[in-house]
Structure 1
Amino acid sequence: MNQNIKTLLIVNTGYDHKRFIFKQLKRRKDLRIVVLNKEINWAAQYVDEWIIADTFSHRLAVEAVVKYSHKNRIDGVITFWEDDVLLTSKIVDELHLTGIPHQIAINLRNKFKMREFCESIGVATPKHTLVNSEDELKVAVENFKFPVVIKPTLGSMSSYVVKAEDSDEVFQIWKYIRQNINVQTESSLHDGIQLLMEEFIEGDEVDVDLLIQNGKTKFWSITDNLSTQEPYFIESGMICPSNLPDSQQKELLSIAENVLERAGVRDGCIHFEAKYSKTGPVPIEVNLRMGGDEVYWLPKQVWHVDMIDSAVKIALGEYFPTIVKPQEPFSYMASTNFVSERSAILSSYSVPESWPKELRVDQYYFYKEVGDSVLAPPDGFEYLGWMTAMGDNPIDASENLEEAKKLVQFEVIPFSSLSVIGKTKRSSRFKSAKVSQQSIMGEARLIKLRASSKKKQRQLNIGIACNRVVNGGDSVESEIGAVGTTIEQTLNEIGYKTTYVDFNNLPEAISVLQTQPIDLVFNVGERINGSSLLEPHIASILDAMQIPYTGSNPFTLGFCIDKIRVKKLLTYHQIPTAKWDYMYEMTDKLRTDFVYPLIVKPGNSDDSIGITQESVVTNEKELKRQLEYMLHELKRPALIEEYLPGDEYAVSILGNENDDLRVLPLDRTIYDKFSRDRWHILTFEDKYGEDINLDNDPTLIVERPPKNVSSKLIKLISEISLDTFLILGAHDYGRVDVKLDQSGNPHVLELNPNPSINRGRCVPEVAEIDGLSYPDFLEKIISLAINRYRDERPYAHLQPVIK
Structure 2
Amino acid sequence: DSKVEPPSAKNLLVVNTGYYKKKFIFARLKELGYRIYCLNSEVNWAKDYVTDWVISDNYNHVQAVSDTVSFIRKKLIKLDGVITFWEDDVLLTAKLVDALGLKGSSFTIASRARNKLFFREFCKANNLPTPAHLQISSKEDLLKIKENLEFPIVLKPAYGTLTALVIKVECLSELEMLYSYMVKNLSTQTETALHDGLDIFAEEYIDGDEVDIDLVLQNGKVKVAIVSDNYDKSRGKFFLDKGQATPSNLPPTHQKELIEMAEQVLEKMGITDGCIHFEAKYSKSGPVPLEINLRMGGDYIYSYILAVWGIDLIKLAASVACGEYIDSTRELKPKKYIIGWDFSTEQSGILNEVSIHPKLKKKPYFEDMLLYKELGDAVLVPPEGVETIGWITVSGENPLDVNDNLQEALEQVQLKVTKFDYQSFAGKAQKNNFLSSARIAKKYLLQKEKVNYVSSTELKKLDIALVTNIDQYQESDYNNYYVKVKDGLIKKGFKIEEILSESSYVILTKLRQFDYDYIINLINIELGNSKPSFHNLQAIEISGIPFTGATSFIARQLLDKIQIRKLLDFHDVPLPDWDYLFELEDEIKEELIYPLIVKPATHDFKIGINNESLITKPEKLRPQIQKMMHYYNCPVVVEEFLEGDEYEVIVIGNDDNDLEALPLNKLVFQKNKSKLSLGGIGTIADYIKSSYPAKDINPKLEKLLIELSFDIFTILDCRDYARFDFRLDEDGNPSLIDVNVSPFIQYTTPKFDYAKLYEQILQKSVNNYRKQAVTMGKPRNE
Unmatched 5+ residue regions in structure 2? Answer: 1-6, 463-479, 496-692, 721-759, 767-782
Gap change, CA 1:257 and 1:778, over 3 Å in 2: closer
Per-residue Cα deviation, 1:321-371 (whole angstroms, up to 9, x for no partner): 112433x31121111111111112222121122426555111111222222
Alpha-carbon distance in structure 2 between the residues aligned to 1:10 and 1:548: 40
- 1:266 aligned residue (256, 262, 272): 272
Gap change, CA 1:123 and 1:799, over 3 Å in 2: farther
Alpha-carbon distance in structure 2 between the residues aligned to 1:135 and 1:348: 47
- 1:98 aligned residue (94, 103, 108): 103
1:55 and 2:54 are equivalent in the alignment? no
1:210 and 2:173 are equivalent in the alignment? no
Gap change, CA 1:305 and 1:17, over 3 Å in 2: same
Equivalence for 1:223 = 228
- 2:40 aligned residue (25, 31, 37): 37
1:282 and 2:175 are equivalent in the alignment? no
- 1:16 aligned residue (11, 17, 20): 20
The code of the aligned residue for 1:550 comes to K
The code of the aligned residue for 1:133 comes to S
Alpha-carbon distance in structure 2 between the residues aligned to 1:440 and 1:787: 10
Q: CA deviation at 1:158?
A: 0.8
Matches within 5 A, 1:131-530: 131-230=136-235, 231-326=237-332, 328-355=333-360, 357=362, 359-415=364-420, 420-421=423-424, 441-442=427-428, 514=432
- 1:550 aligned residue (443, 446, 455): 443
Gap change, CA 1:353 and 1:199, over 3 Å in 2: same
Q: CA deviation at 1:440?
A: 5.6
Q: CA deviation at 1:552?
A: 7.0
Equivalence for 2:29 = 25
Alpha-carbon distance in structure 2 between the residues aligned to 1:380 and 1:284: 21
- On the 8 A contact 1:553/1:798 being kept in 2, the answer is no
- On the 8 A contact 2:88/2:192 being kept in 1, the answer is yes
The code of the aligned residue for 2:22 comes to K
Equivalence for 1:800 = 763
Alpha-carbon distance in structure 2 between the residues aligned to 1:248 and 1:788: 53
Q: Percent identity?
A: 40
1:69 and 2:55 are equivalent in the alignment? no
Q: CA deviation at 1:42?
A: 2.2
1:17 match: secondary structure: helix
Alpha-carbon distance in structure 2 between the residues aligned to 1:238 and 1:786: 32
- On the 8 A contact 2:460/2:494 being kept in 1, the answer is no
Gap change, CA 1:544 and 1:63, over 3 Å in 2: farther
Q: Is 111-120 or 366-375 further displaced after alignment?
A: 366-375
2:36 match: secondary structure: strand
Count of matched residue pairs: 503
Alpha-carbon distance in structure 1 between the residues aligned to 2:53 and 2:110: 25
Alpha-carbon distance in structure 2 between the residues aligned to 1:271 and 1:341: 28
Alpha-carbon distance in structure 1 between the residues aligned to 2:195 and 2:457: 51
The code of the aligned residue for 1:386 comes to W
- On the 8 A contact 1:303/1:325 being kept in 2, the answer is no
Alpha-carbon distance in structure 1 between the residues aligned to 2:343 and 2:86: 21
Q: TM-score, normalised by structure 2?
A: 0.58
Q: CA deviation at 1:569?
A: 7.3
Matches within 5 A, 1:560-571: none
- On the 8 A contact 2:349/2:427 being kept in 1, the answer is no
- On the 8 A contact 2:217/2:273 being kept in 1, the answer is yes
Gap change, CA 1:782 and 1:97, over 3 Å in 2: closer
- On the 8 A contact 1:151/1:195 being kept in 2, the answer is yes
Q: CA deviation at 1:43?
A: 2.0
Alpha-carbon distance in structure 2 between the residues aligned to 1:777 and 1:364: 31
Per-residue Cα deviation, 1:496-517 (whole angstroms, up to 9, x for no partner): xxxxxxxxxxxxxxxxx859xx
Q: CA deviation at 1:557?
A: 6.4
- On the 8 A contact 1:359/1:404 being kept in 2, the answer is no
Instruction: List 4+ stretches of structure 1 deviating above 3 A.
Output: 356-359, 541-545, 551-559, 565-573, 658-663, 718-723, 775-799
Q: CA deviation at 1:791?
A: 4.1
Alpha-carbon distance in structure 1 between the residues aligned to 2:281 and 2:761: 55
- On the 8 A contact 1:542/1:549 being kept in 2, the answer is no
Alpha-carbon distance in structure 2 between the residues aligned to 1:351 and 1:241: 27
The code of the aligned residue for 1:58 comes to H
Gap change, CA 1:255 and 1:553, over 3 Å in 2: farther
Equivalence for 1:5 = 9
Q: CA deviation at 1:264?
A: 1.1
- On the 8 A contact 2:91/2:107 being kept in 1, the answer is yes
Q: Is 382-391 or 405-414 further displaced after alignment?
A: 405-414
The code of the aligned residue for 2:68 comes to V
The code of the aligned residue for 1:78 comes to I
Equivalence for 1:735 = none
1:71 match: secondary structure: helix
Unmatched 5+ residue regions in structure 1? Answer: 422-438, 446-512, 516-540, 560-564, 574-657, 664-714, 724-774
Per-residue Cα deviation, 1:741-779 (whole angstroms, up to 9, x for no partner): xxxxxxxxxxxxxxxxxxxxxxxxxxxxxxxxxx99999
The code of the aligned residue for 2:763 comes to P
2:345 match: secondary structure: coil
Alpha-carbon distance in structure 1 between the residues aligned to 2:706 and 2:133: 54
- On the 8 A contact 1:659/1:784 being kept in 2, the answer is no
- On the 8 A contact 2:428/2:435 being kept in 1, the answer is no
Alpha-carbon distance in structure 1 between the residues aligned to 2:61 and 2:256: 38
Q: CA deviation at 1:32?
A: 1.0
- On the 8 A contact 1:550/1:781 being kept in 2, the answer is no
Per-residue Cα deviation, 1:449-501 (whole angstroms, up to 9, x for no partner): xxxxxxxxxxxxxxxxxxxxxxxxxxxxxxxxxxxxxxxxxxxxxxxxxxxxx
Q: CA deviation at 1:169?
A: 2.4
Q: CA deviation at 1:781?
A: 13
Gap change, CA 1:786 and 1:257, over 3 Å in 2: closer
Alpha-carbon distance in structure 2 between the residues aligned to 1:176 and 1:549: 33
1:26 match: secondary structure: helix
Alpha-carbon distance in structure 2 between the residues aligned to 1:235 and 1:784: 30
- On the 8 A contact 1:184/1:514 being kept in 2, the answer is no
The code of the aligned residue for 2:249 comes to N
The code of the aligned residue for 1:251 comes to E
Alpha-carbon distance in structure 2 between the residues aligned to 1:296 and 1:661: 66
Q: CA deviation at 1:548?
A: 3.6
Q: TM-score, normalised by structure 1?
A: 0.56
Alpha-carbon distance in structure 2 between the residues aligned to 1:781 and 1:147: 45
Alpha-carbon distance in structure 2 between the residues aligned to 1:292 and 1:120: 30
1:206 match: secondary structure: strand
Superposition RMSD in Å: 4.2
Gap change, CA 1:546 and 1:720, over 3 Å in 2: closer
Q: CA deviation at 1:288?
A: 0.6
Alpha-carbon distance in structure 1 between the residues aligned to 2:101 and 2:300: 31
Answer 1 or 2: higher relative contact order, Cα 8 Å, separation at least 6.
Answer: 2
